Amino acid sequence: MTVRAGLLLRVALGAALAVFIGAGAGAQTPVPGQDEMNIGDQPGYQPSPAEEQLTGAYAKQEVFFRTTQSPGTIIIDTQDRFLYLIQGNNRALRYGIGVGRQGFTWSGLERISRKQEWPDWRPPPEMIERQPYLPRFMAGGPGNPLGARAMYLGSTVYRIHGTNQPETIGHAVSSGCFRLVNADVIDLYNRVPVGTKVIIKQAVAL
């Protein structure tokens, strides 16, 4: 290959690379957990064990987490869709969660005021108005949208609870509650007592 031919080849390759990089820079890389799901509740649906098995970032795992909060504190990150149970020594158990969709996100400091196994479900009037097909009452059990456990937050209407829709974990879908797959909510329920401090961090507006 002559020097001139080699030079032309390098120029051509450089131009192609620039176009490729430019195209990539203009595209938005999907960020897990940042989208909002337009999905209603599905009372009575019972997911399979395979559906309830989370993988990747939303699977329960121990992670590095720097905080001044004491062990046993729960920190909910609504932006990244994670719930952290502080373990001490800059470690935390991290669970993937579903959070409130636009208009239903909130922040604050609460404490777990009550715990319930297989809670009954009574959709509030506002939810019935949005989804008129929902039952007015559903006894606790498999297929109940509140899942296997519920931990009630102070005197609010919000809970940390299970779900019969594992595909919603990592998404903004609820009316303000925080949902985990049933295996994870049972694990969390068994680790935290009534009175546990819960810090809810609001998503940062861009």
In a domain, 122, yes or no: yes
Question: What is the set of active-site residues?
Answer: 161, 177
In a domain, 151, yes or no: yes
Residue 5 clears pLDDT 60, i.e. is over it: no
In a domain, 37, yes or no: no
Q: Are 111 and 46 in contact (CB under 8 A)?
A: no
pLDDT at 126: 74
In a domain, 187, yes or no: yes
Dmax (CA) for the chain in angstroms is 81
pLDDT band of residue 203 (cuts 50, 70, 90) is low
pLDDT at 13: 38
DSSP, res 27: S
Residue 121 clears pLDDT 90, i.e. is over it: no
| pTM for this model (two decimals) | 0.77
Which CATH number belongs to the domain containing residue 149 in this structure? 2.40.440.10
In a domain, 164, yes or no: yes
In a domain, 36, yes or no: no
In a domain, 98, yes or no: yes
Residues 157-182 have pLDDT tens digits of 999 999 999 999 999 988 889 999 99
Count the domains in the chain. Answer: 1
**With pLDDT > 90 as the criterion, what percentage of the chain qualifies?**
54
Q: Which domain does 85 fall in, by range?
A: 56-201
Cβ-based neighbours of 73, under 8 Å, separated by 6 or more: 67, 85, 86, 196, 197, 198, 199
What 3-state DSSP class applies to 6?
helix
